[in-house]
Amino acid sequence: MTEGHGRDRADGGQPATVAVLDVGKTNVKLNAVTAAGTILETLSVPNPVLRQGPWRHHDLNALSGWVFDTLAGLCRRHPLSTFVSSGHGSGGVLVGPDPDDGDGTALPMIDYEQALPEDIRTRYLPLSGSFLDRGSAMMHGATHHARQMFWMQQAAPEAFSRARWFLGVPQYWAWRLSGVAVSEATVLGAQSHLWNVAEKRWSPIVGAQGWENLLPPFARAWEAIGTIRPVLAERYGLPADMRVLAGIHDSSANFYRYQAAGFHDATVVSTGTWIVALSGKTPLSRLDEHRGMSCNSDVHGRPVGGALTMGGREFSHIIGRDDAPLDTDAALISRMIAQGTMALPSFGDDDGLFPGSAGKGRIIGPRPVDATERKALAVLYTALLTVECLDALDSRGRVILDGSFLRDPLYAALVAALRPQGDTVANLDAYGVAAGTALLASHGIRPARAAIALEKPPVFHHPPGELAAYAERWKAAARRSSTTHFHSLHERSIT
């Protein structure tokens, strides 16, 4: 599927265009984007997962063919001069020495939602270091790079010993295209458990497991690490002089977009599979590993406070498989509030902001009777989760909402209504990650701040006192439930 957008032109009259590969957990997009961040064309494909082998893994061989062929097609339609990739923070790839040896991998890329063997989980725990060493709490499945490496090392020691590098997803694609391997701060600062962002050093597990030589030297996200390898340029007709940048973590790319626009003090909330709130103003002392909080990195390597939860998955659990209207009816949300219908966390297998809540999600009060009421409850619930992220970060000033949740106007309206003393604005551009990633190509040479259109959300018409009381009851019920489960799990782990 191809989507067209307006063109921004550089001073010479020609569009300055960047190829941006955005690797999500579910879908992969390849975009042609101006250096100013305007999307010209987007193509997408599902991110394929195979179930055979030692673990469920992404089919990088099939994806490689799509990436190279699609990039060649984009190059025929746009004067692309630069390639850069973004990707989710839980994707890591163990590679051999040769990017042309099949898909380049030494072992298959683990699907991070794959459940861990119990012995791997228990043996990993004491090796993982402090909260700041990890940068996040212990999350579900094989989420963390260090945990993936440990599993690979234990399960296939011979193949692991022959590996050359362990790369984050954006750096894997940079390596495939340029042949140059690098590490990058935003990717390693996204719950990798490999890099202590605050102290700018490797976590203890790296030395303890002998992984130093598997982690390449650092490059800044915006740095050109090389050009397209001649063999690829010849095989696919790619420009031989196309620069390849180091690449960036997807939520950090979106955060960078607002930094480039001058919004250094704002908290940015990205929405999709995850709700990710990032703030450069949250002190490290406030970060709580038991409440879905993290210590991320911006493009400069500086600590950024994060609060995250799998809001998109929670949303899907509530609405189920039935179709629902695109936009929610405000009257239905008001009915949910008035009758005390609440969705309590967490329906998925991640605790998020409520320790011990994974798999314990439930609905209390009168249950939704149809798809439209389930949709209304889901929008209300994700707005409450978003405000919980903001409260965790102590974000009282400007908050910028963006991402797929904004497709329903009432999501932003509810977040604004739930924080009446704050300044809540929304960016309705659905291509924030791609735009922010493309801006890396002009880092340091951009003549002015990046342009971003922000809008005030619509007003949610409901008695403010009743909404605030509902939110307090929801928060108390969610915390009471999660605390009970957390203490129960903690007691079982001790005994």
Which CATH number goes with the domain that contains 333? Answer: 3.30.420.40
Token pair in block for residue 40: 């010209």
* 301 shares a domain with 200: no
User: 106 with 224, same domain?
Assistant: yes
Share of the chain above pLDDT 70, in %: 93
Is 428 domain-assigned? yes
Confidence of residue 137 (pLDDT cuts 50, 70, 90): confident
pLDDT at residue 6 greater than cutoff 80: no
Query: Does 216 have pLDDT greater than 80?
Result: yes
Q: Is 12 contained in some domain?
A: no
User: Do both 242 and 266 map to the same domain?
Assistant: no
pLDDT reading at 1 higher than 60 = no
Question: What was the pLDDT predicted at 322?
Answer: 63
Q: Of 246, 274, 292, which one is at a domain's C-terminal end?
A: 246
In this predicted structure, what is the pLDDT of residue 290? 87
Question: Per-residue pLDDT tens for 148-170?
Answer: 999 999 999 999 999 999 999 99
Q: Is residue 196 part of a domain?
A: yes
Band of pLDDT at residue 490, cut at 50, 70 and 90: very low
Give pLDDT tens digits for 238-273: 999 999 999 999 999 999 999 999 999 999 999 988
Calpha distance 426→399 (Å, rounded): 8
pLDDT tens per residue across span 378-407: 999 999 999 999 999 999 999 999 999 999
Asked if residue 65 has pLDDT above 70, the reply is yes
Q: Assess whether 359 and 458 both reside in one domain.
A: yes
Whether residue 7 is predicted with pLDDT greater than 70 in this model: the reply is no
d(CA 193, CA 202): 9
CA distance 289 to 295: 9
Amino acid code (one letter) for 40: L
Average pLDDT over residues 459-484: 90
Domain-terminating residue out of 246, 277, 303? 246
pLDDT above 70: residue 178? yes
Question: 245 near 270, Cβ under 8 Å?
Answer: no
Q: Answer whether residue 329 shows pLDDT above 60.
A: yes
Q: Which residue has the higher pLDDT, 343 or 7?
A: 343
Residues 166 and 205 in one domain: yes
Nearest to 482 by CA among 390, 345, 348: 345
Cα–Cα dist 375/381, whole Å: 10
The verdict on 275 and 363 lying in the same domain is yes
Question: How far apart are the C-alpha atoms of 449 and 344, rounded to whole Å?
Answer: 41
Portion of the chain with pLDDT greater than 90, in percent: 84
Is the same domain home to 341 and 375? yes
Which residue range is the domain that position 477 belongs to? Answer: 262-488
* 304 and 366 co-located in one domain: yes
**Whether residues 384 and 293 fall in one domain:** yes
Is 162 part of any domain?
A: yes
108 CB burial (10 A radius; 0-12, 13-18, 19+): buried
> Do 191 and 98 share a structural domain?
yes
pTM of the model: 0.89
CA distance 140 to 350: 6
- Domain-embedded: residue 192: yes
Q: Tens of pLDDT along 184-197? A: 999 999 999 999 99
End-to-end Cα spacing for the chain:
54
Mean pLDDT on 336-356: 94
How many residues appear in the chain? 495
Rg over CA atoms, the chain: 22
At residue 200, does pLDDT exceed 70?
Answer: yes
Domain for residue 257, yes or no? no
Residue ranges of alpha helices (H) inside 240-324 are 250-260, 311-319
Average pLDDT estimate for 57-76: 97
Q: How confident is the model at residue 9 (pLDDT cuts 50, 70, 90)?
A: very low
Residue at 44 is within a domain: yes
Phi then psi dihedrals of residue 227, to 5 deg: -125, 175
Confidence category of residue 138, pLDDT binned at 50, 70, 90: confident
Per-residue pLDDT at 488: 42
Assigned token pair, 226: 């090389």
Please give the mean pLDDT across all residues of the chain: 91
Whether the CB-CB separation of 277 and 308 falls below 8 Å is answered with yes
Instruction: Return phi, psi of residue 70, to 5°.
Output: -70, -40
DSSP letter at 111 equals P
Using one digit for the tens of pLDDT, what is the confidence trace for 82-108?
999 999 999 999 999 999 999 999 999
Does 201 have pLDDT greater than 70? yes
Q: Mean per-residue pLDDT for 171-193? A: 97
Residue 365 sits in the same domain as residue 304: yes
- Name the domain boundary from 190, 216, 246: 246
Q: In the chain, how many domains are there?
A: 2
Q: Are residues 302 and 451 both part of a single domain?
A: yes
pLDDT tier at 323, thresholds 50, 70, 90: low
- What's the pLDDT tens digit per position in 110-121? 999 999 999 999
The helix (H) or strand (E) run that includes residue 201 is strand 201-202
Dmax over CA atoms of the chain, in Å, equals: 70
Domain presence at residue 256: no
Kindly tell me if the per-residue pLDDT of 230 is higher than 50: yes
**For 412-439, what is the mean pLDDT?**
94
Tens-place pLDDT, residues 259-315? 999 999 999 999 988 899 999 999 999 999 888 899 999 999 999 999 999 999 999
Residue 139: the pLDDT is 85
